Amino acid sequence: MENLYLIVGLGNPGADYARTRHNAGFQMVERLARRWGVGWAYEKKFNARLAWAQRNAQRVLLCQPQTYMNASGEAVGAVLAFYRVPLARVLVAVDDADLPLGEVRLRPGGGSGGHHGLESIAGHLGTSEYARQRIGIGRQSGAREITGHVLGRFSSTEAALLDKVLTVASDQAETWLDAGIQKAMNQFNGVVGDPGN
């Protein structure tokens, strides 16, 4: 499809996981869908929720894999293969426990950083060369076992900060669409609230 872009938000499906730290990627693409006034539909053949948007001359497909985080690549690989989206037009939004809450970092590629969703996507695509937007969720100081933390919900103070972060992350995704990754990185990477954000 001409001029088709794919923005994937990673997370876990179901009410038990809604609004947890691990679902920051889901929340970012939900923010974009609301901003653009588009609705979601479940597509069984991909096991994913999809939302279609038209922005200027661009067709944008928002995607939330419903496979659970560790198998995200199954849905992303199926969507990419079906719609033949070039990797240069793919952006994956994901939570990152190694970044403090309040920080956003977009990169054109790189390793998984131990994130099982990114590992799954790289395994299915056979490459890590796709843009990824890391949304900081922080970690409990000194804790190595972080499962309980990432599957926990934000406190009211954290949720207020996350709301600002999701606005910046959405702005960054739109800039990636409109002006390319370099401008999106330069303008928005860093701590939300710093000059430039």
Q: Quick check: is 116 catalytic?
A: no
Bridge partners for 95 per DSSP? 135
Question: Looking at the domain assignment, is residue 174 inside a domain?
Answer: yes
Question: 88 falls in which pLDDT band (50, 70, 90)?
Answer: very high
Check whether 136 has a pLDDT greater than 50.
Answer: yes
Give how many domains the chain has, as a whole number.
Answer: 1
The pair of structure tokens assigned to 160 is 């207020």
What CATH number is associated with residue 15? 3.40.50.1470
Among candidate residues 22, 115, 124, 149, the one labeled active-site is: 22
Question: Looking at the domain assignment, is residue 37 inside a domain?
Answer: yes
pLDDT value of residue 152: 62
CA distances from 35 to 29, 39, 104, 113, 170 (A): 10, 11, 19, 30, 9
DSSP labels, 147-160: HHHHTSBPPHHHHH
Structural domain boundaries, residue 23: 4-191
**Comparison of pLDDT for 25 and 143, the residue scoring more:** 25
- Work out the percent of the chain whose per-residue pLDDT is above 90: 72
Question: Looking at the domain assignment, is residue 162 inside a domain?
Answer: yes
Question: Looking at the domain assignment, is residue 29 inside a domain?
Answer: yes
Check whether 150 has a pLDDT greater than 60.
Answer: no
CA distances from 78 to 10, 11, 45 (A): 15, 17, 8
Give the predicted TM-score (pTM) of the model: 0.92
Question: Looking at the domain assignment, is residue 196 inside a domain?
Answer: no
Question: 145 falls in which pLDDT band (50, 70, 90)?
Answer: very low
Q: Rounded mean pLDDT of 5-23?
A: 91
Question: Looking at the domain assignment, is residue 45 inside a domain?
Answer: yes
89-93, 131-135, 158-162: the lowest-pLDDT one: 158-162
Question: Looking at the domain assignment, is residue 128 inside a domain?
Answer: yes
Q: Rounded mean pLDDT of 102-114?
A: 92
Question: 151 falls in which pLDDT band (50, 70, 90)?
Answer: low
Question: Looking at the domain assignment, is residue 19 inside a domain?
Answer: yes
